[in-house]
Amino acid sequence: MTAQLIIFYLLGAATVLSSLGVVLTRNVVHAAFMLLVALLAVAGIFLVAVAEFLALAQILIYGGAVTVVVLFAIMLTRTDDQPRADHSQRALAMLAAIGVFGLLVVAFVVSDVASLESATGVATDGETGFENLALGLFTDWAIPFEMASLVLLVALIGAIMLARNLEDGE
Amino acid sequence: MSFTDILFAFAGLFGLFSALAVGVLSLTWLERKTLARIQQRAGPSVVGPHGLLQPFADAMKLVTKEDIIPAYADKLLFWMAPVFVAIPAFLIWLAIPFGDGIAVRMLDLGLLYVVAISGIGVVGLLMGGWASSSRYSMLGGLRAAAQLVSYEIPIVIVILSIAVLVQSLSLDAVIAGNTITVGEATRDLPGQGLIPFAFVMPMGFVIFFIAGLAELGRTPFDIHHAESEVVGGPFVEYSGAHWAVFFLAEYLNTFVISALIVVLFFGGWSWPSPPESIFGHDLSGTTTNFVGGAWFVFKSYIVAVTIFWIRGTYPRLRIDQLMTFAWQVLIPLSFVNFVLIAVVLFYDWPLWMMPTLSLPILIGAVIGVQRGRGVRGRPQTVRVLRRSAGEIGRPMPNAPTQTQIAGEGHAGD
């Protein structure tokens, strides 16, 4: 067993345990912090897989930004005044979660991961991986990339519109 | 990775962290002396010559002080918060080059690493603010998060502009230069040993410096632990060693922002190039690296003193001014800077076009901010006070109620 494998299993265990914590804890703020731990552990797994760029992007976007936004939303809506868990939708939520998880597993089993690299033409390992990724993103995959940013922009404007109406009451 | 590699990594980490601890202690002394000079006091002067041993005495005091945890605090998160702030502050230093190729770990993605790691500290502040279960802490934590997330954007865009300029994300290339290819044209970008990027990208430098101050939460951007508003912000309930760890992180971050300003805009170890010989002693080869490293640290201290100087001389901004400034001034300016550098490189213009184009924009922005200051930034309360001062004895037309005044203050957020 190599050192990489041991680190991978440790990080994997951390990811799984903290993800379980996100779902099982009654305290929403604790759940948000567990989410942070899970996301950082995934970044660690990326590092073990020598995908430095992915790991740093994961830390930057999920560790730094997304968690802060989630925490912000929770803290500003003052969850302490409300009942801590919503029991009425539990069965439905479980069903949805299991369905999505099953879909993911099926997708993972059906798709041939090994041949993905040749399909996208993007080798992400080694020193040139980052450069290849950039070239791929801005040439062959430019339109999906721009679509993603468009979706984000729409979400941003939508959020601003919603917040404005609530605040001014105009 | 062999055993010796691991051993070297540990030795490097140990050396770096010890050096950083000394650096932090010296910075606290330096800050107190600088502030004292500005405020016409003597500053620390009792322990040791010129109070030089004061930081050690302070550290002793803080570590042996009683560590109070509030009864209603969330114990685990309360414990973890200072750690969450301090670890990223240490980790950033792994990628900072002290000399030609000398860093604990020379990363290909150094610029991205610095940006990514520095983003985690915010979570620690939010965590501390929430776990203390105190309103002041909570408000301080939320303010810190809002402020740090906003000011991170201009910093990232400026770092991105530098990455575009040197066509690399490695901090080594930022200092030593690179061969860059834009479209068909290839040119050698000389390292910062010749021209530091502060002169190539003056606007980027100004944006980075201001946003860096805000990222540190130092005056004039210390609204999240402003004594007169939220007492100590996320740190109110902390005492003893925990509090010390928070402030260790704060000084580490001050040092790292200073170091980053030196690396990104003032050539790190290379500008002005360290002397080849001193008093007849040849300094070429390995010794040059030590001289370069000392030079780099010296320049970082100069930037740190500038930051302390600003703290001593500027009043604190209000939270709405702070957020307006980030979103309406710094972020658009950083985008302008980014587009400018891309245009200059794409059309293969000489690099001096960059300052000639950006300086007028920068000066225009400064004038614009000065002019617009009284108009948009003035809160309702000030207007009400002025009006009531002029019309004493008469009822104010459409006098706003208390809740309206309180609500107006947040409108600009």
In a domain, A137, yes or no: yes
Task: Label residue B196 exposed, middle or buried (CB < 10 Å: 0-12, 13-18, 19+).
Answer: buried
In a domain, A135, yes or no: yes
What is the average pLDDT score of chain A? 80
The token pair at A31 is: 């759940």
Amino acid present at A24: L
Angle, alpha carbons B165-B171-B177 (nearest 5°): 50
The stretch B362-387 carries a mean pLDDT of 63
Q: Residue B201's closest CA among B245, B258, B261?
A: B261
Please say whether the beta carbons of A63 and B120 come within 8 A.
yes
Encode pLDDT of A155-170 as tens digits: 989 888 887 765 554 4
When mean pLDDT is compared over A16-30, B230-244, B295-309, B380-394, the highest value belongs to B295-309
Q: Domain ranges for chain B, please list them.
A: 1-64, 69-351
Residues 6 or more apart in contact with residue B149 via CB below 8 angstroms: A65, A68, A69, B122
Do B117 and A59 lie within an 8 Å CB cutoff? yes
Q: What is the CATH number of the domain that holds A56?
A: 1.20.120.1200
The token pair at A17 is: 């345990």
Encode pLDDT of A16-49 as tens digits: 999 998 888 877 888 888 898 899 999 998 888 8
* Chain B CB contacts of A168 below 8 Å: 411
The stretch A152-156 carries a mean pLDDT of 91
DSSP state of A51: -
Q: How many structural domains is chain A composed of? A: 2
CA distance A63 to chain B (A): 6
Residues 6 or more apart in contact with residue A43 via CB below 8 angstroms: A55, A56, A58, A59, A62, A63
Is residue A1 domain-shared with residue A74, that is, in the same domain? Answer: yes
* Chain A CB contacts of B410 below 8 Å: 167
The stretch B342-351 carries a mean pLDDT of 84
When mean pLDDT is compared over A85-89, B93-97, B254-258, the highest value belongs to B254-258
- In percent, the amount of chain B with pLDDT more than 90 equals 10
Instruction: Assess A59–B contact: CB distance below 8 Å, yes or no.
Output: yes
**B residues 168-227 lying closer than 8 A (beta carbon) to A:** 169
Do A67 and B146 lie within an 8 Å CB cutoff? no
Residue where one domain finishes, among candidates A53, A80, A107? A80
Residues 6 or more apart in contact with residue B362 via CB below 8 angstroms: B202, B203, B206, B333
Confidence of residue B231 (pLDDT cuts 50, 70, 90): confident
Nearest-Cα residue of chain A relative to residue B108: A127
* Chain B CB contacts of A56 below 8 Å: 109, 112-113, 116
* Chain A CB contacts of B117 below 8 Å: 59
Instruction: Assess A57–B contact: CB distance below 8 Å, yes or no.
Output: yes
Residue where one domain finishes, among candidates A80, A114, A138? A80
Angle, alpha carbons A154-A135-B149 (nearest 5°): 45
Q: Residue B381's closest CA among B322, B320, B316?
A: B320
Out of A33, A56, A168, the one facing B127 most closely (by C-beta) is A33
Q: Report the DSSP beta bridge partners of residue B182.
A: B185
pLDDT for residue A114 is more than 70: no
In a domain, A97, yes or no: no
Encode pLDDT of B58-88 as tens digits: 888 888 888 888 888 888 888 888 888 888 8
Nearest-Cα residue of chain B relative to residue A67: B123
* Chain B CB contacts of A169 below 8 Å: none
Instruction: Assess B106–A contact: CB distance below 8 Å, yes or no.
Output: no
d(CA B132, CA B233) in angstroms, rounded, equals 10
CA distance B82 to chain A (A): 14
Residue where one domain finishes, among candidates A56, A80, A104? A80
Confidence of residue A121 (pLDDT cuts 50, 70, 90): low
In a domain, A72, yes or no: yes
Please say whether the beta carbons of B331 and B154 come within 8 A.
yes
pLDDT for residue B8 is more than 60: yes
pLDDT for residue B384 is more than 70: no
Positions of E strands within B118-201? 177-182, 185-190
CA–CA distances in Å: residue B243 to residues A3, B61, B230, B249: 36, 12, 16, 10
* Chain A CB contacts of B126 below 8 Å: 68, 71-72, 75
d(CA B246, CA B24) in angstroms, rounded, equals 12
d(CA B326, CA B211) in angstroms, rounded, equals 8
d(CA A130, CA A133) in angstroms, rounded, equals 5
Which of B2, B109, B170 would you mutate first to test chain A, the one with the most A CBs within 10 A? B109
Residues 6 or more apart in contact with residue A39 via CB below 8 angstroms: A58, A62, A63, A66, A67
The token pair at B91 is: 């980790």
* Chain A CB contacts of B106 below 8 Å: none
- Position with higher pLDDT, B368 vs B302: B302
CA distance B234 to chain A (A): 14
Confidence of residue B230 (pLDDT cuts 50, 70, 90): confident
CA distance A4 to chain B (A): 10
Do A36 and B123 lie within an 8 Å CB cutoff? yes
CA distance B113 to chain A (A): 6
d(CA B332, CA B342) in angstroms, rounded, equals 15
CA distance B198 to chain A (A): 26
Out of B116, B117, B126, the one facing A71 most closely (by C-beta) is B126
Integer Rg of chain A from CA: 20
**B residues 54-83 lying closer than 8 A (beta carbon) to A:** 74, 77
CA distance A103 to chain B (A): 32
Q: The pTM is what?
A: 0.82
Q: How many inter-chain contacts (A to B, CB under 8 Å) are there?
A: 70
Question: Is cis: bond before B220, omega within 30 of 0?
Answer: yes
Instruction: Assess A20–B contact: CB distance below 8 Å, yes or no.
Output: no
d(CA A85, CA B207) in angstroms, rounded, equals 44
Domain that holds residue A150: 124-170
Do B122 and A68 lie within an 8 Å CB cutoff? yes
d(CA B326, CA B318) in angstroms, rounded, equals 12
Is residue A6 domain-shared with residue A64, that is, in the same domain? Answer: yes
Strands B281-282, B185-190: pairing is unpaired
| From A93-107, B289-303, B329-343, the region with the lowest mean pLDDT | B289-303
Residues 6 or more apart in contact with residue B335 via CB below 8 angstroms: B157
d(CA B168, CA B183) in angstroms, rounded, equals 16
ipTM score: 0.79
pLDDT for residue B157 is more than 90: yes
The stretch B139-147 carries a mean pLDDT of 85
pLDDT for residue B413 is more than 60: no
pLDDT for residue A1 is more than 70: no
Instruction: Assess A8–B contact: CB distance below 8 Å, yes or no.
Output: no
Instruction: Assess B323–A contact: CB distance below 8 Å, yes or no.
Output: no
Instruction: Assess A102–B contact: CB distance below 8 Å, yes or no.
Output: no
Nearest-Cα residue of chain B relative to residue A76: B142
DSSP state of B329: I
The stretch B99-116 carries a mean pLDDT of 81
Do A53 and B109 lie within an 8 Å CB cutoff? yes
* Chain A CB contacts of B74 below 8 Å: 29-30
d(CA B372, CA B376) in angstroms, rounded, equals 6
Instruction: Assess B123–A contact: CB distance below 8 Å, yes or no.
Output: yes
DSSP state of B47: S
Instruction: Assess B127–A contact: CB distance below 8 Å, yes or no.
Output: yes
**pLDDT confidence of residue A170:** 43
Task: Label residue B66 exposed, middle or buried (CB < 10 Å: 0-12, 13-18, 19+).
Answer: exposed
Q: Could you identify the residue written with the tokens 């600009």?
A: B412
